[in-house]
Amino acid sequence: MSRRRLPNRRLSKTFELMHRDLRHHVSIGYYSDTLKAGEVFARGPKAGSMMEAVLSDACTLMSLLLQYGASPEEIARAMARNMGPPATILGAIADLLAAQKTLDAAE
Using one digit for the tens of pLDDT, what is the confidence trace for 43-55? 988 888 998 999 9
Query: pTM to 2 decimals?
Result: 0.88
pLDDT at 80: 87
pLDDT at 85: 87
pLDDT at 105: 60
**Local structure of 8: helix, strand or coil:** coil
